[in-house]
Chain A
Amino acid sequence: MKVLVAMSGGVDSSVAAALMVEAGHEVIGVTLKLWEGPGGAMPTAGCCTVSDSEDARRVAAQLDIPYYVLNYTDRFKVGVVDRFLDDYLHGRTPNPCIECNRTVKFDHLLDQAGEFACDMVVTGHYAQNTYRDGFWRLGRGVDPDKDQSYVLAMLGQRELEQVQFPVGVQTKAETREIAAGLGLRTAAKPDSQDICFVGDGDYRDFVRKHSDEAERPGVLVDTAGTVVGEHEGIINFTVGQRRGLGVTFGEPRYVVEVKPESATVVIGQRSDLAVRSIVLDQVTWVIGQPPDRPAVTVQYRAHGEANPAVFAMEDDQVLVHFDRTQYGIAIGQTAALYDGDEVVGSGIIVA
Chain B
Amino acid sequence: MTMMGYKCMQQGGSVLYRLTGATGRRLVAAVPLVWLLVFFLLPLLETLQVSFTTAQRSVPPYAPLWGFDETGFFTNFTLDNYALLAAYWQDYIGPAGNSIKLAFFSTLVCLLFAYPMAWWIARSTAKWRVVLLVMVMLPFWTSSLLRIYALIGLLNPNGFINSLLIWLGLIDAPLRMMQTDFSIYMGMVLTYLPLMILPLYAVMVRLDDDVIEVATDLGASSVAVWWTVILPLTLPGVIAGSLLVFIPAVGEFVIPALLGGPDQLMMGKVLWTEFFRNRDWPVAAAIAMLLLAILTVPIIYARYQDGREDHASDPQAGTP
- Binding between chains A and B: no
Chain A interface (Cβ < 8 Å from any Cβ of B): none
